[in-house]
Amino acid sequence: MSWEIKLKERVAEVEAVIQKYLPEETGYQKTVLEAMNYSVLAGGKRLRPMLMEETYRLFGGNSKIVEPFMAAIEMIHTYSLVHDDLPSMDNDEYRRGRKTTHVVYGEGMAILAGDGLLNYAFETALKAFDMEPANPAIGKAMQVLAKKAGVYGMIGGQTADIQAEDMDQSKVTNELLLFIHENKTAALIQSSMMIGAILAGASAEAVAAVEKIAYNVGIAFQIQDDILDITSSLEVLGKMTGSDEKNNKVTYVTLNGMEKSKEDVEKLSKEAIDLLDSFENKNEFLNQLIEELITREK
């Protein structure tokens, strides 16, 4: 079976899990529920829930306990995109090949849809207790989910990113940029893979190693995103390109150059795969998924 077919099947499986946990569009709050579902169902690679499930499998997990967390991480990721696209942020009109939520539903409703997805993500993850009320791993997974999405994770990275846009470009250092990438992008990838390992019963040492793998994946993923913002197009990427330049934004590419950026993507990818290969258990699909996502063209 080809990689494309395997990936398509896995995406379909993840999609089914996510849809199972989406809210029903009823009641006086129907519009915000529609906007939430519109945002989540816009498509995408479903990278984070897939990484979570494959890491869960890597460490021997074989129950449905991971599913509410898979849906929750995609809801959190989607809420961040909805808010990131707002006029007060990146002011993007396209996401995943179609109109962004604020363009379709208005800015106010898009803000509420993002808020709704964040709150609903935790409602959804907590449903894991209905499956296994006495499982202590669920509480540990919730801690990771909350921290990596918050001010010491994604929101912290977004804060530094916004402030960096208003700084003198000469003061945006590699250290600051890596902080932004680690928190704004890598944090949710770390959350995904760490939760998969925790729910499968992996040791603390293994979870720490997974966190490092996910850091490399996240940084490389973001550098590749910066590269694609320069080299790709709306038709290929599914969103407007050149937005970084339009917003006068310093990126890894503008700071380090295209050649070094590509070299660092390759280096980070190799380190992640080597560390993944050090585990006794193997998941070849997870290895290939990481390689393909880091070096993606869209």
pLDDT, tens only, 145-187: 999 999 999 999 999 998 998 888 888 999 999 999 999 999 9
How confident is the model at residue 233, as a pLDDT? 46
How confident is the model at residue 240, as a pLDDT? 46
Asked whether 194 and 204 are in contact (CB, 8 A), the reply is: no
SS (H, E, C) 52-80: HHHHHHHCCCCCHHHHHHHHHHHHHHHHH
In whole angstroms, give the CA distance from residue 152 to residue 143: 12
Residue type, 190: Q
User: Cβ atoms within 10 A of the Cβ of 3, count?
Assistant: 12
Number of domains in the chain: 1
Owning domain of residue 123: 3-294
pLDDT, tens only, 229-240: 888 644 444 444
How confident is the model at residue 237, as a pLDDT? 45
pLDDT, tens only, 241-298: 445 555 557 899 989 999 999 999 999 999 999 999 999 999 999 999 998 887 777 6
pLDDT, tens only, 86-145: 998 888 888 878 899 999 999 999 999 999 999 999 999 999 999 999 999 999 999 999
Distance of CA 239 to the CA centre of its chain: 16
Percent helix, percent strand, percent coil in the chain, to nearest 5: 75, 0, 25
Closest listed residue to residue 50, CA positions, set 292, 263, 215, 273: 292
Residue type, 164: A
User: How would you classify residue 168: left for phi > 0, otherwise alpha for psi between -120 and 50, otherwise beta?
Assistant: beta
In whole angstroms, give the CA distance from residue 108 to residue 178: 32
In whole angstroms, give the CA distance from residue 217 to residue 37: 28
In whole angstroms, give the CA distance from residue 97 to residue 76: 20
The tokens describing 143, both together, are 């801690």
Asked whether 223 and 178 are in contact (CB, 8 A), the reply is: no
Least confident window among 63-72, 157-166, 203-212, 237-246: 237-246
Tokens 């599913």, residue located: 67
- The CATH number of the domain where 80 resides is what? 1.10.600.10
| SS3 of residue 277 by DSSP | helix
Strands (E), 167-213: none
- Which residues on neighbouring strands pair with residue 95, listed in sequence order? 98
Tokens 């001010």, residue located: 151
How confident is the model at residue 236, as a pLDDT? 44
- Reported residue count of the chain is 298
Q: What is the DSSP letter of 99?
A: E
In whole angstroms, give the CA distance from residue 265 to residue 270: 9
Residues ≥6 apart with Cβ < 8 Å to 4: none
Tokens 């700071």, residue located: 255
How confident is the model at residue 94, as a pLDDT? 86
In whole angstroms, give the CA distance from residue 265 to residue 226: 11
